[in-house]
Amino acid sequence: MTTKDDRLEFESHKREMALALGKDEEAFQHALNTLVALDKYDYAYLWSWMGVPIIQMPADIMATQEVIWNTRPDVIIETGVARGGSMIFMASLLKVIGKGKVIGVDIDIRAHNRDSIEKHPLSPSITLIEGPSTTAGTLAKVKAEIPADASVMVVLDSDHSRDHVLDELRCYGPLVTEGQYIVVADTLLGRGDMSQTPTKRSKIWYPGDEPYAALNAYLEETDRFETDEVLNGKLVLSSSPGGYLKCVRQ
């Protein structure tokens, strides 16, 4: 039995492999083809977290878990609540960490979804705000929920059109505090060709009119965010490759 403490070595190997995977375009294309094939089965819709449907790829749930555990935000803002699973997931991590709350914004919080969220044991860590994510009124309500000096993380997962996501980045990017992350969901929509665009959605977002295009435009406007190459490198079976950015200056 070995007694060697190999934890640093193990982490270093993980980092090296993730960076290498991030540069492997062939592996990325294989994974993209797999995800396109899985979309036929609504793969992102098949999961739940603690009993509540979460519309995410398992890889993104893992990645978000790594971010939250490492950065321990006081507040997480999510635009796009849907059935609430993602909020419950993030609230469950904050509960174990022992602090913090999740603020969810959605243009349409349906009564049955509100019911599932409000009856969940984690509901005390959750605040729901109904309204379009980028209006002044909604933003004022969100800001009023953030305590002074709180560390703030943001997840953007609402309307995925380029202009809306860019608007959200301009509204919510400034709320993210140094050391915390902004996650731009569904950047995968900008990584394939037109024929790979998911069509089983309430709206269809083709390459160019999607979150990746918005993110790239936003990164031209600000130097506050940097792509986390290690985390994004391993996000091949993800809806949001390249969508995890760290705030590097206040």
Ligand X SMILES: C[S@@+](CC[C@H](N)C(=O)[O-])C[C@H]1O[C@@H](n2cnc3c(N)ncnc32)[C@H](O)[C@@H]1O
User: Total binding residues for ligand X by CB under 6 A?
Assistant: 21
**Per CB under 6 A, does 163 bind ligand X?**
no
For residue 76, the minimal CB distance to ligand X (Å) is 12
**Per CB under 6 A, does 133 bind ligand X?**
yes
**Per CB under 6 A, does 210 bind ligand X?**
no
Among 63, 81, 175, 231, binds ligand X (CB under 6 A): 81
CA 22 to chain CA centroid, Å, is 18
Residues 90-109 that bind ligand X (CB under 6 A): 105-108
Give the interface segment with ligand X, choosing from 24-32, 50-58, 188-196, 236-244 (CB under 6 A): 50-58
Among 159, 209, 210, 228, binds ligand X (CB under 6 A): 159
Q: What is the distance between the alpha carbons of residues 97 and 32, in angstroms, rounded to a whole number?
A: 34
For residue 168 the two structure tokens come to 């959200």
DSSP states of 177-208 as a string?
Answer: PTT-EEEETTGGGGTS-GGGS--SSSS---TT
Give the interface segment with ligand X, choosing from 72-80, 175-183, 219-227, 232-240 (CB under 6 A): 72-80
**Per CB under 6 A, does 157 bind ligand X?**
yes
Nearer to ligand X, 124 or 137 (CB): 137
For 173, left (φ over 0), alpha (ψ -120 to 50), or beta?
alpha
DSSP H helices, 51-174, are: 58-71, 85-97, 111-118, 136-144, 162-172
List, in order, residues 6 or more apart from 8 with CB less than 8 Å away: none
* Residues of the shown chain interacting with ligand X in the complex, contacts defined by CB under 6 A: 54-56, 78-83, 85-86, 105-108, 132-133, 157-159, 164
